[in-house]
Amino acid sequence: MKIPVMEVFGPTIQGEGMVIGQKTMFVRTGGCDYSCSWCDSSFTWDGTARSELLEVEAIIKKIKETGGEYFSHVTISGGNPALHKGIGELVDRCHEEGWKVAIETQGSIWQEWMKEIDDVTISPKPPSSNMKTDFEKLDFYVEQLKDRKFSLKVVVFTEEDFRYAEQIHVRYPKVPFYLQIGNEDISTTDDEALLSKLLHAYEWLIDRATKSTIMNDAKVLPQLHTLIWGNKRGV
């Protein structure tokens, strides 16, 4: 089954969430059912870039050509990779190669192959994104994954977003929970100014989380890759 692929890159480090720091390859799929106001990967869905429709075997070949012998972990992101049925076959093929597989999704579309993935990150979207969470769908997701290794990650830009994050963590108290500071400046090439801004925003989020009893067991993270490489693509 064919999958629309925007880019294959790496090895790099996973810059976000539950396996932050993990050396990994990335496969970024095209298309999203959301259109977050601050999406840092909007080229996957806004028509400004083209995807390539590839058979799973061609994707495996691309991963090997790009990563050589220098990886054992593959992260699938997008767009929303859960739009594509063919990812199940891709996950199986990665496992046959001996690679672990992680996925990034917003939890709006369920696929049975989600259960085969080693590290699932579900990232429900706060009010500043202008998206609306379908809590029935999210409940179903969390229920389906309850015996697996998965986590929830909420990106926070505002106080209202922080309240939303609290609401998510309270709703699913047993699920490992991550707060991630939002990047407001997704198009700047001034890395120094961006770094300074992001570190200040991260400090605000840490401070806010330390003052919330609800967040007593949360992990508060930046986007590590953005601190290092700014808004550069393919890192």
Ligand X SMILES: Nc1nc2[nH]cc(C(=O)O)c2c(=O)[nH]1
- Which residues sit in the known binding site? 13-15, 28, 32, 36, 38-41, 77, 79, 123-125
CB of 184 to ligand SF4, least distance (A): 14
Binder of residue 145, out of ligand SAM, ligand X, ligand SF4, none (CB less than 5 to 8 A by kind): none
* Residue 14 in the binding site for ligand X (CB under 6 A): yes
Cα 155 to the chain's mean position, in Å?
Answer: 10
Residues at the annotated binding site for [4Fe-4S] cluster? 32, 36, 39
Determine the size of the site formed for ligand X (CB under 6 A).
11
Token representation of residue 51: 């995807």
Report in angstroms the alpha-carbon separations of 15 from 18, 57, 133, 224.
10, 27, 24, 4
* Residue 40 in the binding site for ligand SAM (CB under 6 A): yes
User: Angle at Cα 149 formed by Cα 144 and Cα 155, nearest 5°?
Assistant: 90
| Positions 52 through 81 that interact with ligand X (CB under 6 A) | 77
Determine the Cα–Cα distance for residues 178 and 221; give it in Å rounded to an integer. Answer: 7
Binding mask 113-142 for ligand SAM (x = CB under 6 A): ----------x-------------------
Q: Which residues sit at the interface with ligand SF4, rule CB under 6 A?
A: 32, 34-36, 39, 41, 44, 78-80, 106
Binder of residue 183, out of ligand SAM, ligand SF4, ligand X, none (CB less than 5 to 8 A by kind): ligand SAM
Binder of residue 35, out of ligand SF4, ligand SAM, ligand X, none (CB less than 5 to 8 A by kind): ligand SF4
Residues at the annotated binding site for substrate? 13-15, 28, 77
Torsion of CA 165, 128, 17, 168, to 10 degrees: 20
First to last CA, the chain: 27
Q: Of the candidates 75, 86, 223, 230, which one interacts with ligand SAM according to CB under 6 A?
A: 223
| Positions 61 through 120 that interact with ligand SAM (CB under 6 A) | 77-80, 104-106
Q: How deeply is 28 buried, as exposed, middle or buried, from its count of CB atoms within 10 A (0-12, 13-18, 19+)?
A: buried
Going by DSSP bridges, is the β-strand pair 23-29/3-13 parallel, antiparallel, or unpaired?
antiparallel
Going by DSSP bridges, is the β-strand pair 177-181/219-221 parallel, antiparallel, or unpaired?
parallel
Beta strands in the chain (DSSP E): 3-13, 23-29, 52-54, 73-77, 100-105, 119-122, 150-156, 177-181, 219-221
Q: Which stretch binds ligand SAM (CB under 6 A): 56-64, 164-172, 179-187, 204-212?
A: 179-187
Q: Which residues would be at the binding site for ligand X (CB under 6 A)?
A: 12-16, 26, 41, 77, 104, 225, 235
